[in-house]
Chain A
Amino acid sequence: MRSAEALTAPDPNRLLEVRGVKKYFPITKGFLKRTVGYVRAVDDVDMYINKGETLALVGESGCGKTTLGRCVLQAIKPTAGEVYFTTRKDERVDLTTLPYDRLRVVRRDMQMIFQDPYASLNPRMTTLNIIAEPLVCHRLMSGSRLRGYVRELMETVGLNPHHLERYPHAFSGGQRQRIGIARALATQPRFLVCDEAVSALDVSVQAQILNLLMDLQEKMNLSYLFISHDLGVVSHISDRVGVMYVGHIVELADTAALFDRPMHPYTKALLSAKPVADPRRKSHRIMLEGEVANPSKLPPGCPFHPRCREAAAECGERKPEWREAEPGHYIACHRA
């Protein structure tokens, strides 16, 4: 199911390209850890991210968006597929086959911002040590130069540089998330995976952090893979959006096209499910029956067909192809 677009010559604007990535987690049983099945967390995903662009991945819990983000960074090795990344020397490398010593160098360019600002910072390290750790690991800086640089980073993300020696517990949730962002920026990366980076924050603070992420993107020409379940946030921050359902991207398009003209029945249901902050607006909600499919026992054909209102006979027989329905608007559905 390679789309035509993926087979053409590499685009110079392209920073990252994911082709046919799969991640199957084995289910083992008994004393001998016999493999009795697989959880198909990510099942044959194609996508790309351009330089300076934000691609959002949305979907419900368990749809594989976090696993995909981790596969991209090689934090977990994908079972199959290729992940091409353009390094700062403009070399196009496949991260899945890159030897470890070279991967380590490329990793300076790719960092991650985590969801929980309480769990992702070591409570026994000072802010200085937390933010400096990537620099120390990559042996990029040390001593007073490092200290000065960490101060600068703290200012960049809106923290008071006098709080260098404080421990995480002394900061609020929003401030901790700023520490996490400063740490991610320390190696001057070009690509950040933001995994539910604002989900744990209150709306008023969430807006501050989103503004910060957008300012940094402009200043440093960063690309984001923005993983979120919040369609409102995604509609503001991203250039393009991919919708995931049990390990598959079912629709991917420009933000405006996806929100104004969704094609996949699942996207339509997802968009209609979000409560609107206006009591005068009557909701035209598409209620989904039943439950999300079990990724270890996927139904044959389209994974969404048991819950789909538009499902026909072929949906239960054949897996829909990943195709470009309109320029830049990709979809996997027989019926759209």
Chain B
Amino acid sequence: MPGKDDDSVILEMRETRVRFKMDAGLLKAVDGVSLSLRKGATLGIVGESGCGKSVTAGAVFRTLPSYAEVGGDILLYEKDGKRLDEPINIAKLNPTGPEIRGIRGGNIAMVFQEPMKAFSPIHTVGNQIIEAIRLHVEPDEGKARRIAIDTLGLVGISSPEQRIDEYPHQLSGGMRQRAMIAMALSCKPAILIADEPTTALDVTVQAQVLDLINKLKAEINTSVIYITHDLGVIAETSDEVAVMYLGKVVEYCAVDALFHDPRHPYTRALLRSIPTADKRRKGRFDSIRGTVPYPMNLPERCGFFDRCDLAEEGLCGRSAAPMVEAAPGHFARCFKVEPYAAKEVV
């Protein structure tokens, strides 16, 4: 993985697993994910519904339901602006204990898809933001209120002195999402996890919010984990991208390589199936046949086997595909992808 011993890495997932114990069996929502997030960079996680991208975020934030089993390592290398000698393993912390509560909201903050669900409807937006600030940064209420007003202004909310005392239902969808971002950024977190922050918004509002996140990232030097199903949003926000399918990362590389040199058959098919205005023609779409299988009691083989055009019975149908380094720093989980080193030998 890129930069394992690199001190620019702020968060690292090593073989992270999340399993849900269900009556019908064991659901492997996240199945051995290894990713690293660099300081000030944006890591995009993209995939279709049910691929495990939101559960991955939940594992880092430790907000999964109690019947979820988190395994592997999630290492945090920096806390309160200081580099740690010994990283904190978030995966091993008690999800309701004081350590994670010190990290959550302060060092790692999260922006959710639906701000109407993430805000409490019976408290003003301001009180909810002030609560987070008093907990992590500034115990004095008056000063905390000042910080909250400043942050609301920073995310482009007009007359923040008034808006701070409004309830979430009084704000429009775009405003609410801005307030949500303001709440997440009010404690100047080192890591911001954004889980589909613009999916519920209209394109023109989405454009404003994407612009805002990119601007704030540069200003506060926050690292961002950006989770979305929209490859267009990934292209505009991310530095590195992980494509997830059935709980596994199937391709992991720099953003440019993903769009201009994709290696995994799933990534390629996904890129072909997006309808964009430039490759417009009235005609058939390249679709991917079949649907994503249910991630429970699956046979030991490549998860994309049933839907892949390159699948080979004896090879891909026998065991899980290995992660191959197809080019320096460009990984793909596929039997059919050649490792780049092998090419150099020939």
What is A's interface to B at a CB cutoff of 8 Å? 60-61, 172, 174-175, 202-208, 210-211, 214, 229-233, 235-239, 255-256, 259, 269-281, 283, 285, 287-288, 291
Give CA–CA (A69, B194) in the complex, Å: 35
B294 CB to closest chain A CB (Å) equals 9
CB distance from B287 to the nearest CB of A (A): 3
Contact A275 B236 (CB under 8 A): yes
- 8 closest A-B pairs by CB: A275-B232, A207-B287, A207-B285, A204-B288, A60-B202, A202-B48, A232-B275, A273-B207
* In the complex, residue of chain B having the shortest beta-carbon distance to the beta carbon of A272: B207
> Which residues of B are interface residues toward A (Cβ below 8 A)?
48-49, 172-175, 202-208, 210-211, 229-236, 255-256, 259-260, 269-271, 273-278, 280-289, 291-292
Q: How far is the CB of B317 from chain A (nearest CB, A)?
A: 21
By the criterion CB–CB under 8 Å, are A202 and B229 in contact? yes
Residues of A within 8 A of B232 (CB): 274-277
Q: B210 near A259 (CB under 8 angstroms)? A: no
29 contacts between A and B (CB under 8 A): A61-B173, A172-B291, A202-B49, A203-B48, A203-B229, A203-B270, A203-B273, A204-B269, A206-B273, A210-B275, A210-B287, A211-B284, A214-B283, A229-B203, A232-B277, A233-B275, A235-B276, A237-B282, A255-B282, A271-B277, A273-B203, A275-B210, A275-B232, A276-B278, A277-B271, A277-B276, A280-B260, A285-B207, A288-B204
> A259 to B203, Cβ gap below 8 A?
no
Given contacts A203-B229, A204-B48, A214-B284, contact A275 B274 (CB under 8 A): no
Q: Which residues of B contact A203 (CB under 8 A)?
A: 48, 229, 270, 273-274
Is A231 in contact with B203, judged by CB distance below 8 angstroms? yes
Which residues of chain B are near A174, meaning CB under 8 Å? 291
In the assembled complex, the Cα of A214 lies from the Cα of B275 at a distance in Å of: 14
Q: How far is the CB of A115 from chain B (nearest CB, A)?
A: 14
User: In the complex, which residue of chain A has the Cβ closest to the Cβ of B206?
Assistant: A273
Chain A CB within 10 Å — which of B175, B273, B277, B278 has the most? Answer: B277
Residues of A within 8 A of B233 (CB): 275
Q: How far is the CA of A208 from the CA of B289 in the complex (A)?
A: 8
Whether A208 contacts B287 by the Cβ 8 Å rule is yes
Q: How far is the CA of A280 from the CA of B235 in the complex (A)?
A: 8
